[in-house]
Chains A and B, each alone.
Chain A
Amino acid sequence: MQGRGTAVCLPADIDTDIIIAGRYLRTKDRSIWATHVLEDLDPALAPRLKGAVIVAGKNFGCGSSREQAVVALREAGVVAVIAPSFARIFFRNAINIGLPLIESDLACEEGSTVVFDLSGGWVDAGGKRHTIRPLSPRMQEILRAGGLVEYWRAHR
């Protein structure tokens, strides 16, 4: 699985309350989550996430299990998230909806182009190639299917 996008840099320990606040959760209207994604961090950020690869610090997605957080990022147009580590529920949630996560410790250059190849196990950023920790075989299968819903539709 390959992809490319424009780097948007975020700090460490971004929690899911910050990604999408509790006050926006009671709806099934996904466009609301896309509009308000990361609003409490930076209200001007959401429109810049179309075609973005988020490059964040460690422990991205910590806190609440709310799946609206990964949906909000995907609906806003985020192509992938790269961080040295992710909170585990967020990790599963992202793969389950087909949003690639990449565990890699790389310096973020705002606005630069980031290219990745998950099966190849690398990400190019800032003119350098970095190796990435591979996903488990099951997670790769789920991601290849397009998410867990599609995975189970094909496997039942």
Chain B
Amino acid sequence: MSTLSERILGAAAGEYVDRKVDRAYAHDGTGVLALEAWKEMGGDRLGKETGYYIQFDHIVPANNGTTANLQHELRDFAKSSFMQFSDIGCGICHQLMGEGAVLPGEIVVGADSHSVTLGAFGAFATGVGATDMAAIWLTGETWFRVPESVGIHLTGRLTGAAEAKDLALAYVGKLGTDGATYQALEFVGEGTRHLSMDERLVLANLSVEAGAKAGLFYADDVTLRYLKEHGQDASVQDYEPCSYRHELDLDLSDIVPLVAVPHRVDTVKPVDALAGMPLDQVFVGTCTNGRYSDLARFARLVRDRKVAVRTIVVPASASVLEKAIRTGVLADIIGAGCTIGTPGCGPCLGYHMGVLGEGEVCLSTANRNFRNRMGVGGEIYLGSVATAAASALAGEIASPEAG
């Protein structure tokens, strides 16, 4: 039987295929070069068969004249074409695509490595660079090598303070940063049934940190219920036994709060082993952990208390922000002494806000802790929302299970 990637791409692992892309999206970072390449290719207007999107999320609002000019050009293009355009403050591209745009079984390509996030819906979602995106704007299709798959079998339930983020760090730690290069991850087993859409999005999001081309869940009742809430109807995808190139078994009840230490996502340690490490900044947000459920969890843990270190919270989208205002979550976060950023990627990529100074240490809920990523000489520890909350209150890395 076929893997989900083989089913969606309609060919066996190892084959090269040309496929129409159902949805293609780019952001202010990659869209600029894509537009340049598209013009050079002779592009003049976009076809209507593919859903095209441009979302401004990386440097929002523009931080200087150069960025403003680049965004101005891309904004004009997006508005004058068939693109669905989301301007500054609407949110992170992956989050917006996951608020009811992407459906099970679709082929989705984003000009960003974390486009794998959308595999949580049972779509084949992968990242490309700017020139590949330009060719998709030109033709509506692209080529794929159908990947072999790694089966990640999940059993049990998360317990205590453990979150999907800890589970994600656990599998990246086991596979290594290139453990799934050229391959897709498939998350299967009864353990998946207990994971919400938000939790599945976290697991799919980190798949590229193991080098994977995609990270997929089979669409089930949880998926359908989520999509219904976002105004979409879809069908479940039945799992059929299939052959995986590698298999990894994870019992969710074994997962404890973890931290990925600088400068690799696969160097993972229990939070307890790092407790007491002084922090200069805590950051909660990104396409990994900036959803409403993340903000609500964080708010619950810091409510009526004060953070002991500067803490930046960035909602993943405007609707996340709006809901956090409506439910009082935002007031709790601000009341605890945190500051709020414009919905978007925030400090994750180290360009325009929340940049680390030399020798500064940050506990972040993001997905990358590469050297100098958030600022030259800064150090990034990756952890869950609960670990971020406990650490923000303590001013040092702290276990969410201690308090």
Contacts and interface: CB of A to CB of B under 8 A. Distances in A.
Interface in B10-69: 16, 29-30, 32-33, 36-37, 40-42, 59, 64, 66-67
B370 A152 contact: no
B16 A152 contact: no
A58 interface: yes
A136 B182 CA distance: 13
A89 B40 CA distance: 21
B366 interface: no
Contacts, number: 126
Given A28-B36, A148-B37, A18 B129 contact: no
B131 interface: yes
B70 interface: yes
Given A26-B70, A27-B66, A40-B371, A88 B211 contact: yes
A124 B139 CA distance: 39
Contacts of A67: 30, 33, 129-131
Nearest to B351: A22
A17 B371 contact: yes
B264 interface: yes
A105 interface: no
Contacts of A152: 41-42, 135, 138-139
A66 B370 CA distance: 14
Interface stretch (A46-54, A91-99, A111-119): A91-99
Interface string A107-137: 0000000000000000000000000000011
B392 interface: no
Contacts of B96: none
Contacts of A65: 30, 111-113, 127-129
A142 to B, nearest CB: 9
Contacts of B129: 65-67, 70, 89, 92-93, 96
Q: Which of B111, B113, B143, B264 has the most CB of A within 10 A?
A: B113
Contact of A87 (B112, B178, B349, B370): B178
B156 interface: no
A148 B211 contact: no
A59 B373 contact: no
Interface in B113-135: 113, 127-132, 134-135
Contacts of A68: 33
Contact of B42 (A62, A89, A156): A156
**Is the interface on chain A under 10, 10 to 19, 20 to 34, or 35 or more residues?**
35 or more
Contact of A28 (B70, B112, B139): B70
Contacts of A63: 113, 368, 370
A96 B132 contact: yes
B67 A26 contact: yes
A92 B178 contact: no
Contacts of A58: 178
A21 B375 CA distance: 9
Interface string A131-152: 0000011100000000111001
B83 to A, nearest CB: 19
Given A17-B368, A63-B368, A87-B181, A93 B132 contact: yes
A63 B32 CA distance: 19
A6 to B, nearest CB: 26
B182 A148 contact: no
Contacts of B67: 26
B131 A93 contact: yes
Interface string A21-54: 1110111100000000000100000000000000
Contacts of B40: 149, 153
B145 interface: yes
Interface in B253-294: 264
Contacts of A85: 178, 181-182
A152 B39 CA distance: 11
A15 B380 CA distance: 15
B181 A148 contact: no
A21 B374 CA distance: 10
A56 to B, nearest CB: 12
B131 A97 contact: yes
B177 A40 contact: no
Most buried by B among A13, A97, A147: A13
Interface in B364-379: 368, 370-373, 376
A68 B351 CA distance: 15
Contacts of B376: 21, 23, 40
A91 to B, nearest CB: 9
Given A26-B67, A65-B127, A92-B129, 9 more contacts: A27-B70, A64-B349, A66-B29, A66-B30, A67-B129, A85-B178, A93-B130, A149-B37, A156-B41
13 contacts: A13-B177, A17-B368, A17-B372, A21-B376, A22-B350, A23-B376, A26-B351, A65-B30, A65-B112, A87-B181, A88-B182, A89-B113, A152-B135
Please name the 10 residue pairs, one residue from A and one from B, whose CB atoms are nearest each other, closest first. Answer: A59-B178, A93-B129, A67-B129, A96-B131, A17-B370, A65-B113, A67-B130, A152-B41, A22-B349, A149-B40
